[in-house]
Chain A
Amino acid sequence: MQVIDLSWWQLALAAVMVVVLAGCTAALRLGMSRSLLIAALRTVVQLALVGLVLDALFAAERLVWVALMAMAMLLIAGREVMARQKRRLLGGWAFGIGTLSMFLSSFTVTVLTLTVIIGPEPWYLPQYAIPLLGMLLGNTMTGVALALDRLTDTAWRQRQVIENRLMLGEPWQVAIGDIRREAMRSGLMPMINAMAAAGVVSLPGMMTGQILAGTAPGLAVKYQILIMFAITLGTGFGTLAAVAAGSRRLFDARERLRLDRLGSPRS
């Protein structure tokens, strides 16, 4: 089965409908038609550019280019994690902790999945490596951002409780233990929910794409299961690492709570 070709004028039809929606939100004065249109425009521009980059990448099939692309994706994800936090750690720590934990988890899981499980030839074959890493990074980013935001925001709200526990002589790990567990949970929850609902409530995007492209549903399902597991691993370990490092950074060497290391809240 051949994929039916899509031409730009057909996409324009879908775009017109988005504009209609923007008109409706403007009429209802939701105050978001502007951001809706800008986001839609960004989708078009960003995906078109990525299409060009991927074309070049697939043609070149060189490890250096794949690694460079992966690095660029990681840094952008790190910036996004930082931007999504209300009270971020100052001095580059918000970016550093987010990026490093995503690097450790997403890259390790991607490389393991490629070399040990899927085994394309060569192992960095961009048609496999880039989409896999992209899906992992995207989800890990959400988990890490949620968990770090939850950690710093709750620590701020409950600073007096944490300090009172420190006064009673509890080590910092105990004093912030409840908050740390809560933050880790909030980072893991979306993936657990996604796995629980997969195929029943939602048809996962990648599987849908593969089926549209003509893959037998049986094989598409296997790939989807593999991806879901890989994403869960990446998100899980990424979240655990980020919260562990982030909560350590909230205390100094004398185990004092140092909320002066957090920036002022941003809306």
Chain B
Amino acid sequence: MSADSLRLDGIAIGELAAISLAVRPGEIVCLSGASGSGKSRLLRAVADLEPHAGEVWLGEQAQSQTPGHAWRRQVMLVPAESHWWAETVGEHFIDPPVTAELAALGFGPDTLEWQVGRLSTGEKQRLGLLRAVSREPRALLLDEPTANLDDASRERVEAWLVERIRVRQWPTLWVAHDHDQIARVASRHWRIVGARLEEEPVSCR
């Protein structure tokens, strides 16, 4: 499977207008902005979960020419809070993840038999990432992927994500607050100011 770049062309949703942005294969572009500035809604527009103006391209493939579920299967949005509907963790995976993948996020092999009711917020977030990544998308949209994690597991998850993104060459939009995190993972950083995006240096130090 060849790696494609993700290109936003004149996206308008809510307050945001005419957002254009290109993310190369394997590149991580961080988005930041005050809460309520529309970061999450922008990601929802890219995943085509909300009506919006403008077009999104994955390589030569246009969002509007692809059936909704087929698009979202490739351009995978991982929300800050994941939701679970079946009894056990394992039922949410199409192919059960290998032990090494689980271990990389700090889980044992028995995790797949856990009841979803006993998952903590942090466990839900880590398993939500694993669940999305294991469906083999072609681009990733991450909404504060480490918001509910403590320092130790934040770095572990960060490193795991960055490695996956580099190996699979996924173009990635990553919503983040923490400047240190942006400095660690991003190759570019855009901040939402009013209706537009402003490029900022990756490191503010």
Write the residues of chain A forming the contact surface with B, with a CB cutoff of 8 angstroms: 158, 160-161, 163-172, 178, 252, 254-257
Contacts and interface: CB of A to CB of B under 8 A. Distances in A.
A165 B70 CA distance: 13
Contacts of A168: 72-73, 76, 131-132, 135
Given A168-B73, A169-B76, 10 more contacts: A160-B83, A161-B85, A164-B83, A167-B47, A167-B49, A167-B78, A168-B132, A169-B69, A169-B135, A256-B50
B79 interface: yes
Given A255-B67, A255-B69, A166 B49 contact: yes
Contacts of A163: 49, 79, 83
A196 B79 CA distance: 46
B116 to A, nearest CB: 11
Contact of B72 (A160, A161, A169, A178): A169
A165 B85 contact: yes
Interface in B29-84: 47-51, 67-70, 72-74, 76-79, 81-84
A173 B20 CA distance: 32
6 contacts: A160-B81, A160-B83, A161-B84, A163-B49, A163-B83, A172-B69
A163 B48 CA distance: 11
Contacts of B84: 161
Given A168-B131, A168-B135, A256 B48 contact: yes
Interface of B: 47-51, 67-70, 72-74, 76-79, 81-85, 131-132, 135, 137
Q: With a 10 A CB-CB cut-off, give which of A163, A168, A170, A171 has the most chain B CB atoms.
A: A168
Contacts of A170: 69
A167 B48 CA distance: 9
Contact of A178 (B70, B83, B85, B137): B85
A233 B138 CA distance: 47
A257 B79 CA distance: 16
Contacts of B85: 158, 161, 165, 178
A167 B47 CA distance: 7
Residue among A161, A172, A254, A255 facing the most chain B CB atoms (10 A cut-off): A254
Contacts of B77: 167
Contacts of A254: 48, 51, 68
Contacts of B73: 168-169
A209 to B, nearest CB: 47
Contact of B69 (A171, A252, A257): A171
Nearest to A167: B77
A166 B48 CA distance: 10
B85 to A, nearest CB: 5
A183 B187 CA distance: 48
Nearest to B69: A171
B68 A256 contact: yes
Contacts of B76: 167-169
Nearest to A169: B73
A167 B69 contact: no
B79 A164 contact: yes
Contact of A256 (B51, B78, B137): B51
